[in-house]
Amino acid sequence: MHGLRAYLLRRLILLLFVVVSVLTILFVLFKLLPGNPLSVFIDSNYSDEMVQRQKRLWGLDDPLWLQYVRYMWNMLTFDFGTSFFQMTPVSGIVIEKLLHTGAMIVPAVVLSVVLGALLGSWLGWRRGSRQEGAVVVGLLALRSVPSFFVGILVLMVFSYQLGWFPPGGMVSIGGHQESFWETILTLDFLGHLILPCLVLMTREITSPALLLRSTMLEVKGSDFLDILRAKGLSERRIRVHATRNALLPLVTDIAVMMGFLFQGQVLLEIIFAWPGVGRELVSALNDLDYPVAQACFFVMALIILVFNFIADVLYGFIDPRVAYD
Amino acid sequence: MAEAEILTASGARKKSGAIAAIARVLGVIGRYPTGAIGLTLILLFAVIAVIGPAVAPFGPFEATQNELGRVARLLPPSGSNLLGTTTQGIDVFSQLLWGTRVALIVGVISAIGSVILGTLIGLVSGYFGGWVDEVLMRVTDVAFGIPFLPFALVVISIAGPSLPLVILLVTLFLWRTTSRVIRAQVLTLKTRPFIWAARAAGASEFGILFIHIAPNVLPLSFLYMAIGVQGGVMLEAALSFLGFGDPNVISWGGMLNHAFRAGAMRTAWWWVVPPGLALSLFVISVFMVTRAYEELLNPRLREM
């Protein structure tokens, strides 16, 4: 148990170190911005005195170290300031966009894991057969196809040509409900979700399928399966038992997938006009809305790091051997 | 990408041994059916990248005009415009040829850069261990903590879009995996008896590292270079599609960006499908070659 605790502590310290480093890089980047955020915000008619007053108000004439400390504190307490354009607190905007992104990713990940696990279990069981070989190569090839082009094609065919699905967006115009949870429980939302969700799945299903296939190969040789066979269980039932034992490594895979998707779906959000955090980052950068851009970037980085941390921790619990590395 | 290896090898390297070795590896890859198809396609892309702009009927931003001297907008594919024209009357086929060169330039340069960087860091980190390893691996951890696409978007919006910047960003993204893999490989290599023998024979630390260990990790470096070309082409396409590519050159991603913004998904399939198809085909052909190469390096994959 001691090894595990040391492992967790080490991982936690590493997480904090990386978060602080990423924030520092972000601080430097935004300090390098051409001109300064004021030039976007302040009218050219302002007198020098007014500019100076505004600078003092925002703490921009403080020494750099003080600005850095204040910036760190604000970021780590999720106080991202006010949007230049929407004039509302950035944290509220970011939370809303994160929920939207989550509404696309979570169903895709759940479905990918369930269907991918079924497929992987079948593949592992039928190892060496001709179909198995073909499916594996197909999955590997699928993983390398750029999913944003798949998204464009799908949208062209099913939305513009056939008219089966709405052409992007999260809800129809005027279909927005009072709260996020009411919105995602409407059929209208479901209709908008199907295409982007399917496109995400074409890519995401490959990882659980290939992973489960290889763990199934290991489990397949276990003695307990022979005992089940001796008991006279059908091959199908035996496969269920084997699959159950091969599922554990999938848990860490889910965490990695979730973290990756929160930054990887920027392109799909643009193509499907999905009002998520990635699309918000792109439009904030185009509008020079720096507080929003900064917050979106930080939140995306943080989510990846936290999910990777969760994956490491789960891995430590599932396979205690790694803790002693 | 493999052709690029030959090109750079024949152009820059003095040793004919290196060319022979690469040719041998390519020959073996070509014996796998997927490898042969992949190599043929990549060769085709490489040829297009080299001669494409010379044979392209129009310039990358040149508006086609009809008989009346007006800009020929959104023409469907025909004999004079093989893949039709864009909303600005630009010949899609010509853009596709020009775009191939940009895609391959970004892919090849960033792959080579990232593999050199990643291999050096992996070698030094794995071989020397101790605080050097600690520092380099924490830097790698930080690199892994930075989400590439958002990071690249922020940097490009600060520094302004340009092709060298895109190459630099892609390189900075790709080296991290290589360095971890190479480091792991060095950790096992440095305990092998032939390293003890070299040390006993009085070889210097750097001599051991670069003469005895480095050649043994090179096959793995080449694998990551191939994967890097694929990654580089994809990332450039993604950035350009989002409108953060170099506006002075045209790439497949840039074409998709223009088409997407002009609403061509609704009106002009001939503008949308070719660049996306070229991108997918290129990525899949690199995948086929790397798959065959991986099987060559690790025969266990065939059974697994």
Contact A281 B150 (CB under 8 A): yes
Which of A45, A76, A107 finishes a domain? A76
Phi, psi of B27, rounded to the nearest 5 degrees: -60, -45
Long-range contacts of B240-243 (CB under 8 A, 24+ apart): B241/A148, B241/A267, B241/A270, B242/A266, B242/A267, B242/A270, B242/A282, B242/B149, B242/B153, B243/A286
**In this predicted structure, what is the pLDDT of residue B21?**
73
A251 touches chain B (CB under 8 A): no
B291: which chain A residues are within 8 Å (Cβ-Cβ)?
137, 140
**Residues B171, B108: Cα–Cα separation, whole Å:** 10
| Beta-carbon count within 10 A of B167 CB | 21
Contact status, residue B278 vs residue B107, Cβ threshold 8 Å = no
- A48, A180: one domain: no
Look at residue A81 and tell me if it is in a domain.
no
Tell me the CATH number at A306.
1.10.3720.10
Closest residue in chain A to residue B230, using alpha carbons only = A144
Tell me which chain B residues have a C-beta less than 8 angstroms from the C-beta of A156: 265-266, 269, 272
- The answer on A309 and A232 residing in a single domain is yes
CA distance A152 to chain B (A): 8
Test the A interface: residue of B151, B173, B177, B240 with most A CBs within 10 Å:
B151
Please give the residue that has the higher pLDDT: either A59 or B60: B60
Q: Considering the domain boundaries, does residue A224 fall inside one?
A: yes
Give me the CATH code for the B21-49+92-303 domain, please. Answer: 1.10.3720.10
Between chains, do A300 and B147 touch, taking CB under 8 Å as contact?
A: yes
Question: A160 in contact with B at a CB cutoff of 8 Å?
Answer: yes
pLDDT of residue B112: 93
Cα separation, B99 vs B257, whole angstroms: 13
Number of structural domains found in chain A:
2
- A155 touches B: beta carbon within 8 Å: yes
d(Cα A257, Cα A264) in Å, to the nearest integer? 10
| Percent of chain A residues past pLDDT 90, beyond the cut | 1
Q: Mind telling me how many Å the CA of A182 is from chain B's nearest CA?
A: 30
Q: How far is CA A119 from CA A207, A210, A249, in A?
A: 11, 9, 16
Q: Does A306 touch chain B (CB under 8 A)?
A: no
The residue out of A76, A106, A136 marking a domain boundary is A76
> Which of A24-28, A129-133, B195-199 is the least confident region?
A129-133
Contacts of A285 in chain B (CB under 8 A): 153-154, 157
Instruction: Report pLDDT for A324.
Output: 54
Q: Give the pLDDT band (50/70/90) at residue A237.
A: confident
- Together in a domain, A7 and A57: yes
Q: Which residues on B lie below 8 Å from A297 (Cβ)?
A: 147, 150-151, 154
Choose the closest CB to A148 out of B142, B241, B269.
Answer: B241
pLDDT of residue B194: 85
Which residue of chain A is at minimal alpha-carbon distance from B261? A271
User: What integer pLDDT is reported at residue B304 of this predicted model?
Assistant: 44
Domain end (from A76, A109, A141): A76
A83 within domain boundaries: no
pLDDT tens per residue across span A159-171 = 887 878 777 777 7
* Four-residue CA torsion sign, A123, A128, A129, A134: positive
3-state secondary structure of B91: strand
Residue pLDDT, tens place only, B148-175 = 888 898 888 888 888 999 999 999 888 9
- Spatial distance between the Cα atoms of B25 and B82, rounded to a whole number of angstroms: 37
Domain ranges in chain B are: 21-49+92-303
As a dihedral over the C-alpha atoms of residue B73, residue B78, residue B83, residue B87, rounded to 10 degrees, the angle is 0
Which of A190, A246, A203, A244 minimizes the C-alpha distance to A112? A203
Chain B nearest-CA residue for A214: B304
Q: Do A22 and B146 touch (CB under 8 A)?
A: yes
Residue A177: pLDDT above 70? no
Q: Across all residues in chain A, what is the average pLDDT? A: 80
For the segment A284-301, what is each residue's pLDDT rounded down to a tens digit? 888 877 888 888 989 988
- What pLDDT was estimated at residue B74? 67
Distance CA A303, CA B115 (A): 28
Examine the pLDDT at A207 and tell me if it is beyond 90: no
Cα separation, A134 vs A280, in Å, equals 40
Among A193-197, A275-279, B66-70, B172-176, whose mean pLDDT is lowest?
B66-70
Could you tell me how many CB contacts below 8 A there are between chain A and chain B? 115
Contacts of A308 (CB under 8 A, 6+ apart): A255, A256, A259, B144, B145
Residues A117 and A66 in one domain: no
Q: Kindly state whether A146 is in contact with chain B, defined as any CB-CB distance less than 8 angstroms.
A: yes
Domain shared by A145 and A229, yes or no:
yes
Partner residue facing A33 (CB), from B158, B279, B304:
B158
- Partners of A23 on chain B (C-beta within 8 Å) are none
B280 vs A contacts (CB less than 8 Å): 145-146, 149
Do A71 and A98 sit in the same domain of this protein?
no
Q: Which of residues 255-274 of A touch B (CB under 8 A)?
A: 263-264, 266-267, 270-271
pTM of the shown model: 0.83
Q: Within a domain: residue A85?
A: no
The range of the structural domain enclosing residue A145 comes to 91-318
- Do A189 and A253 lie in one domain? The reply is yes
Do residues A290 and A193 share a domain? Answer: yes
- Which of B147, B243, B283 is nearest residue A301 as measured by Cβ atoms? B147
Q: How far is B247 from chain A (nearest CA, A)?
A: 15
Least confident of A4-18, A234-248, B69-83: B69-83
Confidence (pLDDT) at B2? 44
Cβ proximity of A243 and A256 under 8 Å: no
d(CA B234, CA B219): 23
Nearest to B88 by CA among B72, B70, B105: B72
Interchain contact B285–A (C-beta under 8 A):
no
A34-48 pLDDT, tens digit per residue, is 555 556 666 666 677
**Predicted pLDDT at B120:** 92
| Any A CB within 8 A of B37 CB | no
With CA atoms as reference, the chain A residue closest to B137 would be: A14
Say if the Cβ atoms of A263 and B34 lie within 8 Å: no
User: Is A199 in the B-facing interface, judged by CB distances under 8 Å?
Assistant: no
Residues A115-129 have a mean pLDDT of: 82
Q: Which of A19, A160, A266 sits opposite B149 (nearest CB)?
A: A266
**Vertex B302, ends B296 and B304: CA angle to 5°?**
130
Q: Compute the distance between CA of residue A54 and CA of residue A161 in angstroms, rounded to an integer.
A: 53
Is A145 in contact with B276 (Cβ distance < 8 A)? no
Q: Verify whether the Cβ–Cβ distance A29 to B154 is below 8 Å.
A: yes
Cα–Cα distance, A278 to A102 (Å, whole number): 11
pLDDT, one tens digit for every residue, chain B (304 residues): 444 444 444 444 444 566 777 777 777 777 777 788 888 888 898 888 888 777 777 777 776 666 666 666 667 777 677 677 777 767 778 888 888 988 899 999 999 999 999 999 999 998 888 899 889 988 888 888 888 888 898 888 888 888 999 999 999 888 988 898 899 888 888 888 888 888 888 888 888 888 888 888 888 888 888 888 988 998 899 999 998 888 888 888 888 888 888 777 777 777 888 888 889 889 888 888 888 887 777 766 555 4
Instruction: Look at residue B108 in the predicted model and tell me its pLDDT.
Output: 92
Would you tell me how many other CB atoms lie within 10 Å of the CB of residue A233? 15
B284 with A145: Cβ contact below 8 A: yes
